[in-house]
Amino acid sequence: MRRGIAMLLAAAGLAFALANTARAEELTIFWAEWDPANYLQELVNDYAKETGVKVTVETTPWTDFQTKTFREFAAKGDAYDLVVGDSQWLGAGSTQGHYVDLTDFFKKHNLENVFLPATVAGYAEYPIGSHKYWAIPLEGDANGWAYRKDWFEDSKEKAAFKAKYGYELGVPKDYKQLRDIAEFFYRPDQKRYGIAIYTDNSYDAIAMGVEQTIFSYGGDLGNYATYKVNGIVNSKQAIEGLEAYHELYKFAPPGWGKAFFLEDNQAITEGLAAMSMNFFAFFPALANPTTNPHASGTGFFANPAGPTGAHFAALGGQGISIVSYSKKRDAAMKFLEWFVKDSTQKKWGELGGYTCSKAILESPEFRKATPYNDAFYQSMLMVKDFWATPEYAELLDQLNQRLYPYIVDGKGTAKESLDGVEADWTRTFNKYKRYSQK
C-alpha cells in the first residue's frame, strides 16, 4: 500500500514537472482580433519550428482590447508574456511598471537605426526624446484614404468636375481639393456620397480623424513635453482644422454618426462613398475582390496637406512589449531577438504585416507590392500621434465629449469645442500634477 502511494506521488511529481517544462516552452502574445494578428500567428509558427518554443497569439475584439489588457495588468497577471499595445499605452505601460524596459535591447541591436524614426518615437519611446524604449515597433500603421478610382477616372465625371471647380479631378493634393471632391460626389438622390470619415467617439476613432486634420492645418494638441495646451489645442489653426472636419461630415452618408474602420470600409465595398478614411491595416480587404466587389476600381492615397502645406497623418499601429509580470521574460527577450532580425522582418512584410523596418519599407519591392504600400510608406514619414501620457484615456474621453456634438450635430462652434477641450485637459493635467513636475 505504502509503495503504491509512493509511486502515485512520484508519478504526480513527474507529471507536474513535465507540465511546467511544457509551459516554459510556450509564449503568449496578446493582441486585438484583426488580420495582422493572424499574420503574426503565421509568422511565429516559424519560431516554433526553429526553436521548439510554441508561441500563441491570443486575441480579443478591438472594443475589449484595452480593457482586457489593463485588467490583466491591474491583476499583475502573467497570462500574457508579450502585449502588442497601442501607442497611447506607452505612458501607462512604462510609468506604471507594466512593461519591461527595452532600452539596452534597443541599443544592443541598434534598433534606432533599423526602424523608421517615426515608428521608434511612436511605438517605443517614452517620454518623448528620452531615448528610453519600452516596445519594439511591430505593426506600423497610419490613417490614409481609399477612393473610387473608377469614379475619379470616368470621363464624364472628370469633365463635370473641371467645369464646376476649374481643375482636374484626381487624388486630392490638399484639404480644399478633398472637400471639393467630397462635395462633388455627394448625391443623396443616387445613394452616392462624398466621403466617409471617423465619427465613433467610444475610443480613439473621431480623435484620430480630427487630429490629423488639425495637424495638417498647422495646429497641434498641445506641447507633449510641457503639457501646455492653452493657446495650442484651441489655436486659430486647430479651430480651422476642426471646422474643416465638420465640413467634411456634411458630405458623409446619412447616419454616419458611429463610424470607425468597419463602417468606413463598408462605405467603399457597398459603393456608398467616393473617398473613405481608414487605417492602412484595413486596406487589404479593399484590395481583395472577394471582400470588395469594387476592388479593381479602388485606389489609395496618403492624407493630403493642409492650406499651409503642413502634411501629417494620424499614427496607428502598435509595438510589442514584454509584460513585466511574465514569468518567461528571458524567453520573451529571445523571441524579440528573433523578431528584429532582417529575415523575420522581411517575412513579416511578405505575410501582410506592416513592418517598420526602414530598409524594407524603403525598398521598391515593398512599395510596389500592393496598391496601397506606397501611400503607406509616404504616410509613415509624416505620422504624428495623440498624447501617450498615463491619463490618455481621460484626455480621449474629454476630447470625444467636446468634439462629437459639434462635428455630428453642428452644436456650438469649433472654437467653443476646443476651448472646452483646453479647459478639460488643463484641469486633468493639474489633477495629475503635470505642471508642478516641470
Residues near other proteins (CB under 8 A): 66-67, 70-71, 73-74, 92, 96-98, 188, 191, 199-202, 253-258, 272, 390-391, 393-394, 397, 400-401, 404-405, 408-409, 411
Tell me whether residue 180 or residue 263 sits nearer to other proteins (CB atom).
Answer: 263
Give residues with Cβ within 8 angstroms of 226, minimum separation 6: 438
Is there a cis peptide before residue 127, judged by omega within 30 degrees of 0?
yes
3-state secondary structure of 432: coil
Tell me whether residue 272 or residue 315 sits nearer to other proteins (CB atom).
Answer: 272
Tell me whether residue 174 or residue 270 sits nearer to other proteins (CB atom).
Answer: 270
CA distance 98 to 80: 11
* CB neighbourhood size of 271 (10 A): 17
Least distance to other proteins from the beta carbon of 270, Å?
9
Describe the crossing of helices 236-249 and 414-431 by its angle, rounded to 10 degrees.
120
CA distance 327 to 323: 9
CA distance 342 to 129: 26
Q: Are the CB atoms for 151 and 287 separated by under 8 Å?
A: no
Tell me whether residue 278 or residue 398 sits nearer to other proteins (CB atom).
Answer: 398
Least distance to other proteins from the beta carbon of 292, Å?
18
Cell of 266: 463598408
Least distance to other proteins from the beta carbon of 83, Å?
13
Least distance to other proteins from the beta carbon of 414, Å?
17
Q: For the chain, report the end-to-end CA distance as a whole number of angstroms.
A: 73
Least distance to other proteins from the beta carbon of 206, Å?
9
Least distance to other proteins from the beta carbon of 200, Å?
5
Least distance to other proteins from the beta carbon of 14, Å?
35
Tell me whether residue 191 or residue 236 sits nearer to other proteins (CB atom).
Answer: 191
Only one residue has cell 480630427, namely 210
- In this structure, are strands 82-86 and 318-322 parallel, antiparallel, or unpaired? antiparallel
Least distance to other proteins from the beta carbon of 186, Å?
13
Give residues with Cβ within 8 angstroms of 140, minimum separation 6: 116, 119, 123, 317, 354, 355, 356, 361, 376, 380
Least distance to other proteins from the beta carbon of 361, Å?
33
Tell me whether residue 92 or residue 275 sits nearer to other proteins (CB atom).
Answer: 92
Tell me whether residue 63 or residue 223 sits nearer to other proteins (CB atom).
Answer: 63
Least distance to other proteins from the beta carbon of 431, Å?
9
Tell me whether residue 67 or residue 291 sits nearer to other proteins (CB atom).
Answer: 67
DSSP state string for 145-176: EEEEHHHHT-HHHHHHHHHHHSS--SS-SBHH
DSSP state string for 327-347: S-HHHHHHHHHHHTSHHHHHH
Contacts 24+ apart (CB under 8 A), 22-25: 24/328, 24/331, 25/52, 25/53, 25/54, 25/331
Tell me whether residue 155 or residue 190 sits nearer to other proteins (CB atom).
Answer: 190
Only one residue has cell 517620454, namely 127
Tell me whether residue 47 or residue 185 sits nearer to other proteins (CB atom).
Answer: 185
CA distance 133 to 149: 41
